[in-house]
């Protein structure tokens, strides 16, 4: 894995966040490797998706430990779930990381964007600063030799 400039553990110390980024930028990999203690609820999992689609309040029953960070991956697939997320943030002080590839889909769909209860971060595709130390051929691009 490449070392990313985005420090998720520090970012999530006090507040919930949306993490948006294009598909295949490494959001899920970054979460797996930097937040191993987090509970991940994956909306690409058909059974999970259909259960929450039918009954968004089932989210509360899925949360194993309210003190642990809860990651909901692909939140844009189920924007109505954000009302339940807000309820759990307010009533149970649960911290969430809500990932997705489309902030636009949420905003245009009139989704509850949590009214200041969650901040927004973005994960961009790899850039030179991340690759320079990991990929020797990148060092030559800046005019320096590989170390």
What is the mean pLDDT of the segment spanning 31-56? 93
User: Where does the chain have alpha helices with state H?
Assistant: 8-11, 27-34, 46-54, 58-62, 81-92, 103-108, 128-131, 136-139
Higher local confidence (pLDDT), 53 or 136: 53
* C-beta of residue 59 within 8 angstroms of C-beta of residue 88: yes
Tell me the CATH class for 8-142. Answer: alpha beta
pLDDT for res 58: 96
pTM score over 0.85: no
pLDDT at position 126 over 90: no
Cα distances from 114 to residues 5, 7, 11, 75, in angstroms, run 26, 22, 17, 13
pLDDT for res 71: 94
Q: What b-and-e string marks burial along 46-82, b requiring 16 or more CB atoms within 10 Å of the CB?
A: eebbeebeeebeebeeeeeeeeebbbbbbbbbbbebb
- pLDDT, one tens digit per residue, over 25-42 is 778 888 888 889 999 999
Residue 9's pLDDT band, with cuts at 50, 70 and 90, is: confident
- pLDDT, one tens digit per residue, over 63-78 is 999 999 999 999 988 9
d(CA 11, CA 51): 30
Q: What b-and-e string marks burial along 99-120, b requiring 16 or more CB atoms within 10 Å of the CB?
A: bbbbbeebeeeebebbeeebee
């Amino acid at each position: 894995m490449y070392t990313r400039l985005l420090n998720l553990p520090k970012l999530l110390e006090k507040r919930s966040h949306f993490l948006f980024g294009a598909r295949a930028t490494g959001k899920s990999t970054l979460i797996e490797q930097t937040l191993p203690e987090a509970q991940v609820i994956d909306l690409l999992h058909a059974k999970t998706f259909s259960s929450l689609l039918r009954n968004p309040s089932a989210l509360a029953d899925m949360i194993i430990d309210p003190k642990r960070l809860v990651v909901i991956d692909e939140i844009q697939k189920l924007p109505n779930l954000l009302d339940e997320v807000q309820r759990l943030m307010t009533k149970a002080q649960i911290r969430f990381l809500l990932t997705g590839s489309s902030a636009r889909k949420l905003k245009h769909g009139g989704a509850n964007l949590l009214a200041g209860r969650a901040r927004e971060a973005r994960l961009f595709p790899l850039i030179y600063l991340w690759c320079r130390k990991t990929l020797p051929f990148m060092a030559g691009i800046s005019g320096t030799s590989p170390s």
